[in-house]
Amino acid sequence: MTNTTKIDDLVVLGRAHPEPITDDRRHTVCVGGYSESLGYVRLYPTRMGMDELTRWNIVSVEVTESESDHRDESYKISGSKKDWDHLFEKVEKVGELPKPQRIQLTNKLANDCTAVLNENHASLGMVEPDIVHDIEVRDIGNTPTQIDLSGRKLMGKNDFENKLYIDYECVGCKQKTTHNQHVIEWGVYEFWKNHDDPDEVVDALRLNNDGWKHYFFVGNLRHNPTAYIIISVLRFKKTDMIDAGVRPDNQAGLGDF
């Protein structure tokens, strides 16, 4: 019998772009967050349209360990497959983290390097970039888009013409080479749906704005656990950080790109 756990304090930190599950046609979203009682948590699968799982919401949810994903941080919502049509009822928003607490929590967590996460077999973490060497909006060309029975486009990440990569060194970096990581944040792809110039996403994420400080919420890939991607680019105005009692000392220095 699978054990269930009730999480009452899960702070949502990011959501990856939805992907179709090929075996049963569900369109699913991977959600990552942090619980003071349990640590980092990955929820998969979740449904599109579950607004309770928006970033910075605090949610209560009953989870079970995933039988198909053996990473320690991975869970699924209890009964997620058989109750898929009613999954919205299984997640309760119990609060929303105010801006000062968002900054304080992120800064507290941001002491990771993906090289160390890999050594410790940890699949989620928070990274503070120190030097950003390159930001690349990579044109990967068109890929055929799947269509469901109702005629809707089932777009996954590979159905977009572009991918965003960030090449950086983190604070206290333990890796001999730079980190070059793919950004899979849902908001990046939503931006590309609504804007003609894909390069403008760099401005939208404030990545070239010295008045903002950035953190990367990162995770590894289930089928390639040594490879890490950026699930979410967390960004705060430096003035807001000072107001929250956090010194924005290590703002990434951006090179030419």
In the chain, the domains with their CATH numbers are: 4-96 (2.40.50.140), 99-254 (no CATH)
Q: Which two tokens stand for residue 234?
A: 């967390």
User: What digits encode the pLDDT tens for the residues 192-238?
Assistant: 999 999 999 999 999 999 999 999 999 999 999 999 999 999 999 99
Residue 252 in this model has a pLDDT that exceeds 90: no
Whole-angstrom distance, CA of residue 131 vs CA of residue 144: 36
Report pLDDT digits (tens) over 127-145.
999 999 999 999 987 655 5
* Mean pLDDT score, 176-191: 96
Task: Give me the torsion for CA of 1, 85, 70, 127, rounded to 10°.
Answer: -140
Lowest-confidence region among 27-31, 88-92, 120-124, 253-257? 253-257
Quote the tokens at residue 209. Answer: 């704005």
3-state SS class at 189: helix
Provide mean pLDDT across the span 99-118. Answer: 97
The pLDDT value given to residue 251: 46
Mean pLDDT of 162-185: 96
Q: 76 pLDDT exceeds 60?
A: yes
Per-residue model confidence (pLDDT) at position 23: 61
pLDDT confidence of residue 254: 41
Using a pLDDT cut of 90, give the percent of the chain over it: 77
**Better pLDDT: 23 or 6:** 6
By the 8 A CB rule, do 235 and 213 touch?
yes
Task: Give the mean pLDDT of 84-111.
Answer: 96
Given this model, what pLDDT does residue 145 score?
A: 55
Amino acid at 13: L
pTM summary value: 0.91
Torsion of CA 172, 176, 178, 184, to 10 degrees: -80
**Residue 240 confidence (pLDDT) above 70:** yes
34-49 confidence digits (pLDDT tens): 999 999 999 999 998 9
For residue 156, is pLDDT > 90?
no
Mean pLDDT of 156-169: 92
Q: Given a cut of 70, is residue 108 above it in pLDDT? A: yes
pLDDT value of residue 255: 39
Given a contact cutoff of 8 angstroms between Cβ atoms, the answer to whether 45 and 29 are in contact is yes
Q: What was the pLDDT predicted at 175? A: 94
* Residue 142 pLDDT: 61
